[in-house]
Amino acid sequence: MSRLSPTVLEFLASGPLAHVVTLGPAGDPHVTLAWVGVEDGEVVIGTLSDQRKLQNLRNDPRIALSFEVGGQIHAGLPSYLVLRGRARVTEGGAPELLQRLAETYIGPGVTFPPMPNPPAGYVTRVTVEKVSGMGDWD
Q: Is the pLDDT of residue 2 over 90?
A: no
Residue 116: how many CB atoms within 10 A of its CB?
A: 5
Confidence of residue 87 (pLDDT cuts 50, 70, 90): very high
Q: How far apart are CA 45 and CA 77, in angstroms?
A: 29
Read off the pLDDT of residues 18-56 as tens digits, 9 standing for 90 and up: 999 999 999 999 999 999 999 999 999 999 999 999 999
- Phi and psi based region of residue 27 (left: phi greater than 0; alpha: psi -120 to 50; beta: remaining): left
Instruction: Enumerate the β-bridge partners of residue 31.
Output: 21
Q: How far apart are CA 36 and CA 14, in angstroms?
A: 10
**Could you tell me the pTM of the whole model?**
0.93
Smallest CA-to-CA distance from 46 within 123, 126, 125 is with 123
Structural domains in the chain, CATH included, are 6-134 (2.30.110.10)
In contact, 65 and 129? CB cutoff 8 Å? no
3-state secondary structure of 36: coil
